[in-house]
Structures are given as C-alpha cells and as structure tokens.
Amino acid sequence: MSNTGFVLDERFKEHDTGRGHPERPERIGVLLESITEQPGLRKLEPRLATPEEVTLVHDEDHFSRVASTSRLRAYAFDADTPVCARSFETASLAAGGVLALVDAVMAGEVRNGFAFVRPPGHHAETNRAMGFCLFNNVAIGAAYLRKRYGLERILIMDWDVHHGNGTQHAFERDPGVLYMSTHRYPFYPGTGALDETGSRDGEGFTVNVPMVGGFGDAEYLDSFQRIIEPIAMRYEPDFVIISAGFDPHASDPLGGMGVTEQGFAMMARSLLRVADASASGRCVAVLEGGYDLRALRDCSARVLDELRGSSKLAEAPADSPRATPLLDAVKRVQREYWRL
C-alpha cells in the first residue's frame, strides 16, 4: 500500500474562466509540472461524479443549471464565476476525483491523500454557484462518506483565506459533520462570524475562527493549538477532510495574509494528529484557492510531505499577542458549546 494517494489530471485545465481570471488553468499546469508519482505517492484516476452523488448536497435545479452550460460557449453565474462549455464536465470530474480518492482511502489502498482538482468548491451553495465554485467538492465528499460507508462523524477543516459559506450551510444543522474554519474576516463572502455556530441539532458543530488581515504562521499555529486541535480531538472524527486553500500565503494576490509554506505544513500536521488519533489516519485534502503559482506549487509539496510523513520541519512559535483577544473569545464559545 502506498502511504499517500493524489488526484491530478490534465482535464482539470479544461474549465476556462477567461483572460485575467485568478482561478485559471495554469494552477493545474504548475502542479502537473511539479508533482509526480514517486516513493510513497500513488497517482489515482478521477472519475465523473454521478448526478445522484452531486445531489447529495445540491438540489436538482442547481445541477441542471450547471449542466445546461455545456451547450453554451460562455456563461457567467456571477461576476466571479464564468464558465465555458467544458466547465460542467470538469466540475463533475473534480467532485468525482474527490470521491475516487475517498474510495481508495476507505478501501485501504492508500492511507491519506490530496485531490488537486478545479474548479474549487467551498463557496458553492445547495442551489447556487458562486465565488469561482460550481459544485461543492468537499461537501459532496463528506455526504458520500456518510451515505456509502455509514461514517458517523466527519471533520471538515477549511483553512482557505475565504470562509466556506457553502460547506457551512450544507451541514449547519447536522452534528454528523463538524465544520471548522480559519479565514480572514470581514472578507468575501461575508459569512464566518464568531457567533455562527450551527443551528438546531447542529448547534456547536460549526466553529469559526475569524482572522485579522496580515495574520501569519504564529497566529495560525496559536489557533490550531488552542482551538482547532482540542475541539477536533474531542469530536473524535471517523474521517478528516481539509479544504486546502493556499490563498492565506504571504504571496497570494487576493488573500492579504502572511502564512508561509511552513505554516501550511504545521496545519496539516495538526490535522494528521487528529486523524491518527480517531480515524485510523484517514485524511484527504482537497484543493480550494491559491492564486500565486509558485506558492501554490511549494505549499502543495509541503502538505504532500506531511501526508506521506517525510517532513522534518520545526514547529512555528506559539506566542502571538495580536491573536490573543480574538482567540480568547473563541475559547469562550468553545467552553459554552463543548464544556471544555
């Protein structure tokens, strides 16, 4: 058994967003040039997600609207979300690529993995494409794990610079999915406030850690050590899914944050500890944002190193005076809902 699987395919370049768009085919191109099958890594083939799989999360009208764009040369769901005639098939392949990796992990063919897919997904709502996203790849993966494999507790950790509104809304009433997010706030899409903690049976199973612009490795490490990892360990997930956006990187043109490659490695390492503790190591990362090509390449490589257990990075410093008041507030929410 290879330790780590990855999904990466030339066909993910076929979603054409037009000239000047940050979510562009070159994002996959730079990964195709740099990530290859090697000891400890196994390349897996993506497949098309079926309509039944996509509609585990999205309603049928949304699926039909996206599918109908395959008859059009160009269309835009909003100013940020243009598509071409190949976008529906590419989005179906992205969701299916995540499911192919999930199946390989559940079958014991690989221990964990990374799905390098596009278009990204975490902004896609049940009935709406938005924010570069057509189908919510991570949410579909979580719903699939519960339906096909009967898993009771899924952790989704979203470290993209933008809050994953679509993922949060998909599971905000469901205690079977713990959604956690670190994100710049206030920022697009406007959701992800500290007091958004879920509703009804899912109250307390949404944990948002809003971050101030400019925060970097120290602040992220502080939030993972004090908030993310303790809550995740208490939840004891059966499977860990990472919405792995690399736009909090210091070089990203959209993010305005200060995270480095080491910071992303640290976050991956923290979540792998959670997966090892309760999920037999089952952990899948799924590409979301990240628009500086060099940073995308380098951060992806560092997270892959963590997944296959070959990184030798030292931990970043834990103390961060800037983060303390914010994270103390999160701790109050944590005590209220988790009685820690």
**Is the CB of residue 97 less than 8 Å from the CB of residue 54?**
no
Within 13 A of 8's CA, how many CA atoms are on the CB side? 26
Backbone torsions φ then ψ of 272, nearest 5 degrees: -70, -30
Q: What is the CA angle 278-121-266, rounded to 5?
A: 45
- Return the closest-CA partner of residue 131 out of 167, 89, 162: 162
Residues with Cβ within 8 Å of 65's Cβ and at least 6 positions away in sequence, in order, are: 129
- Return the closest-CA partner of residue 159 out of 276, 275, 240, 49: 240
**Is the CB of residue 252 less than 8 Å from the CB of residue 166?**
no
Hey, which bits of 30-161 come out as E strands? 41-44, 74-76, 82-84, 110-115, 154-158
Within 13 A of 42's CA, how many CA atoms are on the CB side? 17
- Return the closest-CA partner of residue 98 out of 208, 5, 160, 193: 5
Q: Cβ-count burial of 291 within 10 angstroms (0-12 exposed, 13-18 middle, 19+ buried)?
A: buried
**Is the CB of residue 126 less than 8 Å from the CB of residue 210?**
no
Residues with Cβ within 8 Å of 35's Cβ and at least 6 positions away in sequence, in order, are: 6, 8, 41, 116, 300, 301, 304
Direct distance between the N- and C-terminal alpha carbons of the chain, in angstroms, rounded to an integer = 38
The catalytic residue positions are 123
Q: Which residues pair with 8 in a beta bridge?
A: none
